[in-house]
Chains A and B, each alone.
Chain A
Amino acid sequence: MVFVLRRLLFTIPLLLAVSLVVFALADVLPGDAADQRFQKNPSLKQEWREKRGLTRPFLVRWGEYVARAVRLDLGESYWDDSPVSTDLWRRLAGTFELTVCAMVLAVLIGGALGILSAMYPRTPIDYAGQIVALFGISIPVFWLGMLLLTFTINVLGFPFESNRLPHWLEADSFGSHLYLFESLFTLRLADFLGCAKNILLPCVTLSTIPMAVITRMTRSAMLEEMGRDYARTARAKGLRSRKVVLKHVLRNALIPVTTITGLQFGQLMGGAVLTERIFGWPGLGSYVVEQAVDRRDTPILVGGILLIAATFVLVNLTVDLLYALIDPRVRRQA
């Protein structure tokens, strides 16, 4: 428990530092949002800057931002002065849903391939695993997305919509922004299938990198554990080979696999931006790139990156908690 609390406390300075870095980055950018917004009548620029308090010193503005951010208020857009929190949360939900689906797919297929490759080395399944592990990290995701898109549209004639919702649904028919999960848990099966159909292609595309990494990690961790003394002992006392692998070896190999899965999840939240761009998926990364970089909308840039960094930190914390679940030795230490 103490360990968890310490980790939680450490996330606070970490997120502060992240916000400071992004704030500073946005500040040193040449030009500002006012230049973009009042291109037509530059006389309004200075007045607007005064009104939004942009003429105050850097640290004062950052302090004010942090004071509001702890109350989950991420400020107002520089582009149209509307609050950014609603949009950012909805976009975060989009990226989160996509990332979770991609990770589930990656863990299921990658884990299975990794275990089978380790159990049957130098067989076709092992070679398949190694090919997945190699090509997954070598092919640019956006190119893979393009290929999947052409294949489904031109060859299969699959009715792909580049939207999270199928055409017969509106966003306000849901209580949350997690459309896929909500329709599943409230058993609206037709709606669920509609959402699932639209998430399928981006999910497969996004899952390739973590699938490759997990396959590789699982295989090497399994092989390493299989060579240990306890595995030999288990086999020597007459346990069936499959039981040794699935009950003894797998449990020990799970620790490094969990670590890498957590890290991949965090990377994916931000890395999803390329996949989101290809499939027109309304996620956080693409929103940040569109709004923040093109329009110089600092509140969206800082808010978006903070949300992603916070998710990353939370996921890693969850992983640390999972260790205790998987490995009794960790539990006893803590």
Chain B
Amino acid sequence: MRGGRRWRTFCRNKTALIGAGLVALVIVAALGAGVMATHDPETRVEASPVAEGAERAGSVVRQPPSADHWLGTDENGFDVWSRLVHGARASLLTALAAVGFALLIGVPIGLWSGWKGGLFDAAIMRAVDVMLAFPSILLAVAIAAVLGSGSLTTIVLAVGIVMVPTFVRQVRAAVLQVRSREFVVAARAIGARDTRILFRTVLPNCIAPILVLATLSTGIAVLDAAGLSFLGLGPPATTPEWGVMLTKGFKYVQRNLTWLYLPPGLAISLTVLGFNLLGDGLRDAFDPRSSR
């Protein structure tokens, strides 16, 4: 019953639906990249007769948009539209993997820390303080440098590790709210073991804030991953990934080759916007008090 009411609250929230739509769009692009792409994202396109307006006659490099290449070609002669849809896959997977990593590490630590309290909790919270005292993007840069720059795995780990302290703190806060409620006390009274209470009783009641945090964090992860690419720690320059495309496009800002820097930036912005709207909508649906 309560689930149904939440669902209806969510559906009445227009901005949340827009967010869900944007996220769905990115997921469709990521899943269907193979079908939606008109060319291979990492193969130089063949010279076409549409050389009008191209830099040199017969050149396939940096062609403006045309019927054959909807968003033109880049400096390697790759089709920008195809790279954009394949980039959805890379960027979305990177962000989801980073958030997954943060969940995997942050949720158990936060649960245990909030549940046990005492010395363990104090130690964890001090460690979280230290990590949060770091400028997050610089910490990610340092981690990426340690892991060896130049791959998506590095970016996933760097972005994921930086997110862990936030997850620990939020999950801990949620546990503290739940731990003294009657049903938890009852579970303890009938003699359930710690791990059982934590995962069967406490965790299900903390799902809402975790879900909201994970949604909002996915947007942040997309931004951070693109930022690391921009600082030169990302995957190789030919990889179809939005951050890489944007970094390449930066060189052509002064020459105003719009098709090289507008599409990837717009794609990142709309994706992040989608996750932010969706996250806000979920929060309003789960917690009616916080809604306007």
Q: Which residue numbers of A lie inside 8 Å of B, CB to CB?
A: 14, 17-18, 21-22, 25-26, 28-30, 121, 134-135, 137-143, 146-147, 149-150, 153-154, 223, 266-267, 269-271, 273-274, 277-278, 285, 288-289, 292-293, 301, 304-305, 308-309, 312-313
Contacts and interface: CB of A to CB of B under 8 A. Distances in A.
B133 A14 contact: yes
Interface string B19-60: 000000000000000000000000000000000000000000
Interface in B100-140: 129-130, 133-139
Contacts of B268: 139-140, 143
Contact of A308 (B135, B227, B270, B276): B135
A289 B133 contact: no
Contacts of A153: 254
Given A138-B273, A143-B268, A277 B230 contact: yes
Interface in B132-156: 133-139, 141-143, 145-146, 148-149
Interface of B: 129-130, 133-139, 141-143, 145-146, 148-149, 219, 223, 226-227, 230-231, 233, 246, 249-250, 253-254, 256, 261, 265, 268-270, 272-273, 276-277, 292
A140 B133 contact: no
Contacts of B227: 140-142, 274
A134 B135 contact: no
A147 B253 CA distance: 8
Nearest to B227: A274
Q: Is the interface of A mostly helix, strand, loop or mixed?
A: helix
A26 B142 CA distance: 8
A285 B149 CA distance: 18
Closest 10 CB pairs of A and B: A270-B135, A143-B265, A138-B273, A138-B272, A17-B130, A270-B138, A293-B145, A139-B269, A309-B133, A308-B135
A273 B133 contact: no
A141 B149 CA distance: 22
A313 B231 contact: no
A267 B135 contact: yes
Task: Tell me if B's interface is mostly helix, strand, loop or mixed.
Answer: helix
Contact of A305 (B142, B148, B231, B254): B142
Contacts of A147: 265
Nearest to B19: A134
Contact of B230 (A29, A142, A293): A142
Given A138-B269, A138-B272, A274 B148 contact: no
Contacts of A273: 137-138, 141, 231
Given A143-B268, A277-B230, A305-B138, A138 B133 contact: no
Nearest to B276: A138
A141 B246 CA distance: 12
A246 B278 CA distance: 33
B290 to A, nearest CB: 8
Nearest to B219: A138
A310 to B, nearest CB: 9
A140 B148 contact: no
